[in-house]
Amino acid sequence: MAKTRELCKDIRDKIVDLHKAGMGYRTIGKQLGEKATTVGAIIRKWKKFKMTVNLPRSGAPCKISPRGASMIMRKVRDQPRTTWQELVNDLKRAGITVSKKTISNTLRRHRLESCSARKVPLLNPVHVQAHLKFANDHLDDPEEEWEKVMLSDETKKELFGLNSTRCVWRKKDEYNPKNTIPTVKHGGGNIILWGCFSAKGTGRLHCIKGRMDGAMYREILANNLLPSVRALKMGRGWVFQHDNDPKHTGRATKEWLCKKHLKVLQWPSQSPDLNPIENLWRELKVHIAQRHPRNLKDLEMVCMEEWAKFPAAVFANFVKNYRKRMISVIANKCFCTQY
């Protein structure tokens, strides 16, 4: 069927005016030389939208039918790691030929984006139960109690850490050196750091030389933890937190902590989501990447400088939002959270 001509705005307005004057569809059609069905369509449109001009059109019709869209959504819900090409092949077998771009647009209309899968610790049922118990036990702890906790952890900083995954703007075949990132084997070397902080600010940051054992760990605590507590004026009743690394839970370390009369917070294993210091390590890595250290000595110096620059408000905010962290862990049943 051929497409009919479109009435101009003046004729549409005249149809509406005649309708307001009390004339019927057929009478208006005979007077203006138009079909009664056309007159009726224009009047119905005017009654619904209070206008006679054409509404903005949605563009080309969607190539994927509602059935095809449901098929795509069902597949990505069941198998989130499905690739665009696999979806193209599935639709092709169902008799629907579309491009990757069309599938991408369909997923975006359903508010789905292609994101990198987050790497999280492998948890067994024992870990999950321990996480939930910890979160439920401390869910209603007042902020004042968390302000007395000194959190600690170790981390590895590579010389070419975040710099190894940078995006650049360039043309397709432009390989100027400024658009590339030099790489070396094994990340160019790394350093191991031990650090601690509380709601009052950062404690000392210590660079671990060599392989750390229980004796070295106790020496780090003596030379860095206790001075940090005094510098931050933690006062009496403060609590020390560290994870369940064998060097932390060894008998000699426990005896040393007991001898120093340090109260230790019982901490579940494999629980980075519960420890705000993981967020602090991430921020430190970002700041280090912006400084572009040239060697390991430079990397250590940059770490110390950036660690000292963190404002106290950052740590107070970690403690203030700790209850939200617990709620998120419980709600997600110890699966990945935003923290």
Crossing angle of helices 125-137 and 322-331, rounded to 10°:
140
Gap between the Cα atoms of 298 and 189, Å rounded = 12
Average pLDDT, the chain: 85
Give me 239's structure tokens.
């609590």
Alpha carbon separation from 313 to 164, 201, 308 (Å, rounded): 30, 8, 13
- pLDDT tens, residue by residue, 255-277: 999 999 999 999 988 888 888 88
Report whether 196 contacts 228 (CB < 8 A): yes
Per-residue pLDDT at 221 exceeds 90: yes
Mean pLDDT of 300-323: 87
Mean pLDDT of 15-28: 90
pLDDT of residue 152: 93
pLDDT of residue 184: 66
Per-residue pLDDT at 165 exceeds 60: no
Specify which of 96-105, 111-120, 246-255, 322-331 reaches the highest per-range mean pLDDT.
246-255
Identity of the residue numbered 56: P
Under the banding of pLDDT at 50, 70 and 90, the label for residue 1 is very low
Under the banding of pLDDT at 50, 70 and 90, the label for residue 193 is very high
Mean pLDDT of 36-48: 89
pLDDT-above-90 percentage for the chain: 26
Per-residue pLDDT at 162 exceeds 60: no
Mean pLDDT of 174-194: 75
pLDDT of residue 2: 46
